[in-house]
Structure 1
Amino acid sequence: MILQKVNALKGEITVPGDKSISHRAVMFGALAEGTTEITHFLQGADCLSTIGCFRDMGIAIENDPLNNKVMVHGKGLHGLKQASGILNVGNSGTTMRLMSGILSAQTFSTTMTGDDSIQKRPMGRVITPLTMMGADIKSISGNGCAPLEILGRHTPLHGISYHSPVASAQVKSAVLLAGLYGDVPTSVTEPYVSRNHTELMLKMLGADIENQGNTAVIKPEPDLHAEKITVPGDISSAAYFVAAGLIIPGSEILIKNVGINPTRNGIIKVCEMMGADIKIENIRNTDTEAVADILVRHSELTGAEIGGALIPTLIDELPVIAVMACFAKGKTIIKDAAELKVKESNRIDVMVHNLSLMGAKVTATEDGLIIEGGRPLKGAVIDSNLDHRIAMSFAVAALAADDSTEILGAECVNISYPDFYSDLKSLVP
């Protein structure tokens, strides 16, 4: 994929459905009684992996890709069946970690694997608490990574009070989902609050779950019932258009129907900290998954310090925030973000390497990045490392950089945003 500098981006766009919510809608719909209707479902490779795994476990799922609509015919908490073979989650860490919680309580045994990237990502963070609950789950290779083997059991899991060392919605969700099958309530306490899509959706489907500060508590064996779920636009996908609109002179972009859940809207807060011309309009659904339209215009940005409790609310957006920081006046410091090292790639190292190729002054730290802004970027050959967030971030950088930029492995955006490049092109006047 070769991209050239553009003079401006203008127009209106609707981004695909939220990846995190799309995953959960399929999973929780499978565990509910009745048919869950999901609209604006994300037809990305990761979410299709989730559909494939639950079909393999006996759940009838109708997918209408043209209309982004999915019907999940749930069979209740105890309706899953043993797959005939190994479950393959592809590149989806969300699928593997959340399903680990569900499968740890089943009467049948399961083996799960994924692609080369998944087989390098840490699964010990869910193996540890699930083992505390009585699950028989192990890394087959003994390195804390996939493939995972989960043996069936015929007694309830043990409810626990787990203090997670990391603020991770995937870890929290795995434990809470296992807690559905516990003997007593289960709680998860995090150092900072991670995204709460699991809690909101399970509550909507009938679970007895509540948040108390940094702690989420769930009671076992609820009667989950099917609902109609409309997936909001993914703020992580919207972030690329937000960044492009801010850094490319003459730009004005309206991004419609974006989820602005407070546990996910850190990108908006960072833009405001950096002095961006960004407006949140038409806010609705504030009692569940809040949705709004986001209007951005080109802005003179200033550097900022990004860390602490803000990080879990924007962990996936940090690569494109680093690109924004290159165009800001002064220094931007990203800290408390060691989690970037264990994503689809080591995003700290990959961002430093690729931004440096484009002429940025950027330094890696143990848990983040330091970016000296205000230096013009130039085109380069960028290796995406088959990481969708990296590919999309450098597509944005390319549109504001001198000369042409080539992105290797650009097709990896199919994981979360198959139409990304065509949507980007639609905004070029």
Structure 2
Amino acid sequence: MPSHTFQPSAPLTGRLRVPGDKSISHRALMFAGLAVGQSRITGLLEGEDVLATAAAMRQLGARIERSEDGTWIVDGAGVGSLLEPKQALDMGNSGTSTRLMMGLLASHAISATFIGDASLSGRPMNRVIDPLSQMGATFEASPGGTLPCMLRGASPAVPITYRLPVASAQVKSAVLLAGLNTPGITRVIEPAPTRDHTERMLTGFGAKLEVTEDNGERVIAIHGEADLKPMDVVVPGDPSSAAFFIVAASIVPGSDLVIENVGLNPTRAGIVTVLRQMGADIEELSPREVGGEPVADLRVRHARLKGVDVDPAIVPSMVDEFPVLFVAAALAEGTTRTTGLEELRVKESDRISVMAEALTLAGARVEEQEDGLTIHGTGGEPLHGTPDSASVATRLDHRIAMSMAVSGLVSRDGVRLDDIAPIATSFPSFIDLLENATS
């Protein structure tokens, strides 16, 4: 387990480019693997989670190769023509891959066993097992609805109208993907909007999909037995990865940093909205649209942040960014209150209690509630942690590790992390980019 201490930092300056969006990378590989013909994907995030999706799609019959210039070339197997995998599908640490892949296979007449690492094997899958069972798939999961889990797909599956009990892009996407090979129309009713990459990209690949409003709720309808056509996908930079640098440049005095090619899909960019409410200086340069997704270069300059009460309605558009927002709040002037974050307790770790413990160790004043944190900021003064050599426990969680790395940049004596290996699951180049920006 490699530990690492992140020291007080010089300003972040220059330009950098974060890796491709993780959510879009997973979907690009899956949908290209379901199309008939050859698709090309540029800007793909090459972290372990996305590589697990590529490996699974290969087992299902798609041909996927990476060319020397970093373009990924996918020859799809076709909806309805997937092969039964010869061995278990190892999803590593990736909850997204697992839940979407379960949806994909639920309407194909094949069996597959899903396995994952220790962290993923503790995460509940019932939220996708329930609707997919209604469509006719059967599951044999481990206690608590966890992995290992065996799935037997239904053919033909039964179209359903499913109201999401909680806002979840993964559950929505799983049901829509199952609907691709289900005769008739499968509908998902969304009480609160979640990230819409699946809808945007499936439309691009030629699926017949309609989004309507009914009593203020989104209804997404997909027409089954779809024929997907190949397309070229340009993956924008991941806003979740950019968030660490947006916060770092906001809280390290003297910083003036440009982060290129950041995806600003409104269902994902909640972190930018909240930081601006806190007084962050974030400028959008050359806004444009790439592959149906809004993109811009972000210029971020150091600013004095003020505490805010974060509107729980924005939670779905920044659920993964709360750990690093907590760091920004710890340096702000006044108090930041967050509520409606129950979902964070079932992520790669319990992100509410782990961040409360980590930030307290680093010297922040934090109160933990059932559904969020209250953070009393330092008003810009460096964090002053415990003087002993206690190191922050990252609990195999990449976002905890990167968030606390950012806190080290604005600490008096540095912040030591017990293990930085998990960072590779989503952002292998994180430490190199951080060192380049601060040197």
User: How high is the TM-score relative to the length of structure 2?
Assistant: 0.95
For 1:275 and 1:181, locate their aligned partners in 2 and report how far apart those are by CA, in whole Å: 47
Instruction: Tell me the equivalent position of 2:131.
Output: 129
1:401 paired residue among 369, 386, 411: 411
CA 1:249–1:390 in 2, change beyond 3 Å: closer, same or farther? Answer: same
Instruction: Tell me the equivalent position of 1:101.
Output: 103
Instruction: Tell me the equivalent position of 2:143.
Output: 142
Deviation at 1:287, TM superposition (A): 7.7
1:233 aligns with 2:244: no
Deviation at 1:286, TM superposition (A): 7.1
Aligned pairs for 1:337-376 within 5 A:
337-374=341-378, 376=382
Instruction: Tell me the equivalent position of 1:25.
Output: 28
Give SS of 1:83's match: coil
Percent of aligned pairs with the same amino acid = 45
Give SS of 1:48's match: helix
Q: Amino acid of the residue matched to residue 344 of structure 1?
A: E
For 2:165 and 2:311, locate their aligned partners in 1 and report how far apart those are by CA, in whole Å: 17
Instruction: Tell me the equivalent position of 1:243.
Output: 247
Aligned pairs for 1:6-17 within 5 A:
6-17=9-20
CA 1:151–1:234 in 2, change beyond 3 Å: closer, same or farther? Answer: same
Give the conservation status (yes or no) of the 8 Å contact 1:246–1:277.
yes
Deviation at 1:381, TM superposition (A): 1.4
1:386 aligns with 2:396: yes
Give the conservation status (yes or no) of the 8 Å contact 2:203–2:209.
yes
Q: Amino acid of the residue matched to residue 434 of structure 2?
A: L
For 2:421 and 2:384, locate their aligned partners in 1 and report how far apart those are by CA, in whole Å: 22
Give the conservation status (yes or no) of the 8 Å contact 2:234–2:290.
no
Instruction: Tell me the equivalent position of 1:211.
Output: 211
Deviation at 1:309, TM superposition (A): 2.3
Q: Amino acid of the residue matched to residue 276 of structure 2?
A: E
Give the conservation status (yes or no) of the 8 Å contact 1:104–1:137.
no
1:183 aligns with 2:183: yes
Instruction: Tell me the equivalent position of 1:43.
Output: 46
Structure 2: gaps of 5 or more residues: none
1:82 aligns with 2:78: no
Deviation at 1:378, TM superposition (A): 2.5
For 2:412 and 2:424, locate their aligned partners in 1 and report how far apart those are by CA, in whole Å: 27
For 2:221 and 2:356, locate their aligned partners in 1 and report how far apart those are by CA, in whole Å: 39
1:151 aligns with 2:152: yes
Deviation at 1:3, TM superposition (A): 1.6
For 1:175 and 1:85, locate their aligned partners in 2 and report how far apart those are by CA, in whole Å: 24
For 2:128 and 2:153, locate their aligned partners in 1 and report how far apart those are by CA, in whole Å: 17
Q: Amino acid of the residue matched to residue 35 of structure 1?
A: Q
Instruction: Tell me the equivalent position of 2:434.
Output: 424
User: How high is the TM-score relative to the length of structure 1?
Assistant: 0.97
Give the conservation status (yes or no) of the 8 Å contact 1:235–1:258.
yes
Give SS of 2:147's match: coil
For residues 301-333 of structure 1, the C-alpha deviation after alignment (integer angstroms, 9 at most, x for no partner) is: 011112332101001110000000001111111
Q: Amino acid of the residue matched to residue 341 of structure 1?
A: R
Deviation at 1:226, TM superposition (A): 0.3
For 1:14 and 1:412, locate their aligned partners in 2 and report how far apart those are by CA, in whole Å: 21
Give the conservation status (yes or no) of the 8 Å contact 2:236–2:290.
no
For residues 374-394 of structure 1, the C-alpha deviation after alignment (integer angstroms, 9 at most, x for no partner) is: 264135511111111011001
For residues 249-295 of structure 1, the C-alpha deviation after alignment (integer angstroms, 9 at most, x for no partner) is: 00111000000001101011001110111111211017811110111
Deviation at 1:190, TM superposition (A): 2.2
Give the conservation status (yes or no) of the 8 Å contact 2:335–2:376.
yes
Give the conservation status (yes or no) of the 8 Å contact 1:43–1:68.
no
Structure 1: gaps of 5 or more residues: none
Give the conservation status (yes or no) of the 8 Å contact 1:130–1:137.
no
- The more displaced of 403-412 and 340-349 is 403-412
Instruction: Tell me the equivalent position of 1:114.
Output: 116
Paired residues in the alignment total 426
For 2:69 and 2:161, locate their aligned partners in 1 and report how far apart those are by CA, in whole Å: 42
Instruction: Tell me the equivalent position of 2:61.
Output: 58
For 2:266 and 2:414, locate their aligned partners in 1 and report how far apart those are by CA, in whole Å: 37
Give SS of 1:187's match: strand
